[in-house]
Structure 1
Amino acid sequence: MPAVIVDCAIYRDGRRTDGPADFSDALDEARAEGDAFLWLGLHDPTEKEFDMVSSEFGLHPLAVEDALTAHQRPKLEVYDDSLFMVLKPVAYESESDTVSTGELMVFIGDSFVVTVRHGEGAALSVVRQRLEAEPEVLKHGPTSVLYAISDAIVDHYIEVAVELQVDLEELEAEVFAPDNSSGRGPSVSSASGTPTAARIYDFKRQVLEFRRASGPLAAPMARLASAGVPFVHQRSQPFFRDVNDHLLHANEQVEGLDRLLTDILSAHLAQMGVRQNDDMRKISAWAAMAAVPTLIAGIYGMNFAHMPELRTVWGYPAVLGLMIVLIFGLHRTFKRRGWL
């Protein structure tokens, strides 16, 4: 069991204090004092390991099932003996342009906070350290932990959104840069050889993964910012309103990225259509110029006895000259019209 326990501490009057090593004894001690609470942090517990925690803390079976199963949408559930919230931290690998999401479950109840983390991301040690440096916030009890975790995750949403914006601007410049090999039109593929449309679509999928994490969190955060939520300190509403404002800002950024990607993809496909039309006009122009000498040569190749200039000494050069003049005239006409 100690392997899955990341940290376990009792907080009294906004300060971390030493307590019993066993979390069961620590919970009894925190409840006996009244103004203290226990924060137990778990990482990837098994069903058997979490059963020991859930039975001791009196967690609701449905919330326990969600915490073990993972792959949940961000949500807020209120049960008789606890408050259960699911958050999805986001990480972005700029080198591979990949957005990954983790899962973090928070239980709040009578004098306790239990956090269950899945995956390697979203470590809460930094959140603990920052919160322990603000005793006035910690005096709000278990609610302060929920606020600190939510604030850290939402602030990271904004950081990831900024990183995505920077990479999207680079992708946009690359998409609409002229093709160096031909000096005309947008680039069909990136420097890595990946088709441009495929890169845009893959980037759009990463933004969609981000939206699945941040979008559904808006309703739970708005609820926490309002009054009347059980197990939430009444003075914590301004803190949650601040987090909600940051979340709305992050969601607006993500929606803007999604719209911009759609516009870039549409513009790229439109330019590719224009480029294909240009290529078809060039092909048609060259085919027309090739058709003229083919027509003349075809007529004179029919071997009729009575044909113009058939027995003239200069007939053969004259026909060749006519072919050259017609081809040159067609070439100038197509060039003037922009087909070549």
Structure 2
Amino acid sequence: MDQRPPTTRWRTTLPTLLRRALRRPTPTTPPATHPTNPDAVVDCAVYIDGQRQPGRPHYTDAHHHSRRNRRAFVWLGLHDPTPAVMTAVGHTFGLDDLHIAQALTAGHRPTLQRHDDTTLLVLRTAAYVEHTELTDTSEVVDTGDIMIFIGDRFVVTVRHGAPGALTTVRHHLQQRRALLTEGPWAVAYAICARMVDQYLDVANHVETDLERLEETVFARDRTADIAHIYQLKREIVELKRAVLPAQTPLRTLAGPTDGPSPALRRWFTDVDGDLARAVDRVNAYDDLLNSILQSRLAQLAVEQNNDMRKIAAWAAIAATQTAVAGIYGMNFTHMPELHWRYGYAGALLLMATAALTLHRLFRRSGWL
């Protein structure tokens, strides 16, 4: 029990109460906010033992999380990133300046490169453009490219152009947990398989266009123009640029290499086989289109020859009339026919008979 007199207690508590009343409120610290991903980030996720972790973290947080768990890796998907975003992503995942510069430009040739612990796989994307009819300006094949940076515990995909969206690839791959346990190279396999499937799908649609074009070229009322054929050939060449160069990197991944595991090499071998089918079909379409083009050129030459024969036949018919009129137009003195009663009618009959005879002969020979 406090034995101090009341006056002393008041002197002690009164200053304390005043100090508490006049004390400034301590500012409260706002809750920590997590940075948001840039617009170029399509998706970002951390996978542990083949299972996607909840949420969509910032790529820096995802990278740090994957580094703390040996069974984890991060998949970051980018679409047409800006230089600032790509530079920041490259520094986060340890990409060198050359890889960052390559990721900022489109139109790369399919290739496989390895620098330190990072592997770069470049593939071309392709999509069929629907159209009602083939014209000299029709776009049949739309292409882009995708760059896959594969590290120990990360895979960064950079896509340029509209074709080759990877949302479906990610969704299907997440349903195959056993495959995802193979790590980043499982993502690379799934993307390769998707690109090759797109090549085959585009080839099927191009085959339909070729069949229609072939029908119009060899139909009785030919409507196919040389410009239409040449436009389709340009589109097939664009498809060949995407399909043919992809053979080298895929064959490398299917063989002995430091990249995918032996179990995944079997899957890459299967993709390489599908790619070989796509290559054979595209080459066959190109050869067929060359044959169609040559056939159409031959048809044009025949049509021009027919026109020239018709012109020559009518010129010969007209020449007989000109000859007769020229002879009787010379007005010589001693020309018995000039004084004959039926000379004028006889000249007209001769001209008509010569024209009809020549016309019949030319029709019989196929010139008219």
Task: Report the TM-score, using the length of structure 1 for normalisation.
Answer: 0.93
The corresponding residue for 1:183 is: none
3-state SS in 2 of match to 1:227? coil
The corresponding residue for 1:90 is: 126
* Aligned residue identity for 2:199: Y
Which of 259, 263, 275 in structure 2 is aligned with 1:247? Answer: 275
Contact 1:31 1:110 in 2 (8 A): no
The corresponding residue for 1:287 is: 315
User: 1:302-321 alignment to 2 at 5 Å?
Assistant: 302-321=330-349
- C-alpha distance in 1 between matches for 2:282 and 2:179: 30
The corresponding residue for 2:99 is: 63
* Aligned residue identity for 1:38: V
TM-superposed deviation, 1:20: 7.8
* Identity percentage of aligned residues: 46
- C-alpha distance in 1 between matches for 2:59 and 2:360: 89
RMSD over equivalenced CA pairs, Å: 1.4
Contact 1:8 1:41 in 2 (8 A): yes
Cα deviations by residue, 1:208-249 (Å, 9 ceiling, x for unpaired): 111111111111111111112x33223211111111111111
Counterpart check, 1:3 vs 2:32? no
Counterpart check, 1:167 vs 2:229? no
* Aligned residue identity for 1:204: K
- C-alpha distance in 2 between matches for 1:85 and 1:92: 23
Higher RCO, 1 vs 2 (CA within 8 Å, ≥6 residues apart): 1
TM-superposed deviation, 1:19: 6.6
TM-superposed deviation, 1:97: 4.2
The corresponding residue for 2:199 is: 157
The corresponding residue for 1:205 is: 234
Larger radius of gyration: 2
- C-alpha distance in 1 between matches for 2:312 and 2:217: 28
Unaligned 5+ residue runs, structure 2? 1-36, 132-137
Aligned residues: 326
3-state SS in 1 of match to 2:104? helix
User: 1:61-140 alignment to 2 at 5 Å?
Assistant: 61-95=97-131, 96-140=138-182
3-state SS in 2 of match to 1:309? helix
- C-alpha distance in 2 between matches for 1:94 and 1:175: 21
- C-alpha distance in 2 between matches for 1:234 and 1:80: 21
Cα deviations by residue, 1:193-216 (Å, 9 ceiling, x for unpaired): xxx100000000000111111111
Unaligned 5+ residue runs, structure 1? 180-186, 191-195
3-state SS in 2 of match to 1:69? coil
- C-alpha distance in 2 between matches for 1:35 and 1:140: 10
The corresponding residue for 2:249 is: 220
The corresponding residue for 1:334 is: 362
The corresponding residue for 2:71 is: 35
* Aligned residue identity for 1:86: V
The corresponding residue for 2:8 is: none
The corresponding residue for 2:26 is: none
* Aligned residue identity for 1:258: D
Cα deviations by residue, 1:170-205 (Å, 9 ceiling, x for unpaired): 1111122122xxxxxxx2x45xxxxx1000000000
TM-superposed deviation, 1:119: 2.2
3-state SS in 2 of match to 1:18? coil
TM-superposed deviation, 1:301: 0.3
Contact 1:59 1:81 in 2 (8 A): no
Contact 1:75 1:220 in 2 (8 A): yes
3-state SS in 1 of match to 2:43? strand
Task: Report the TM-score, using the length of structure 2 for normalisation.
Answer: 0.86
The corresponding residue for 2:11 is: none
TM-superposed deviation, 1:94: 2.6
Counterpart check, 1:146 vs 2:174? no
TM-superposed deviation, 1:322: 1.2
- C-alpha distance in 2 between matches for 1:205 and 1:61: 35
- C-alpha distance in 2 between matches for 1:326 and 1:231: 87
* Aligned residue identity for 1:170: R
- C-alpha distance in 1 between matches for 2:284 and 2:38: 44
**Residues 19 and 27 of structure 1, relative CA distance in 2, 3 Å threshold:** farther
- The list of structure 1 runs, each at least 4 consecutive aligned residues, that deviate by more than 3 angstroms after superposition, is none
- C-alpha distance in 2 between matches for 1:323 and 1:119: 72
- C-alpha distance in 2 between matches for 1:153 and 1:41: 16
- C-alpha distance in 1 between matches for 2:354 and 2:182: 91
Cα deviations by residue, 1:288-315 (Å, 9 ceiling, x for unpaired): 0110011011010011011142211111
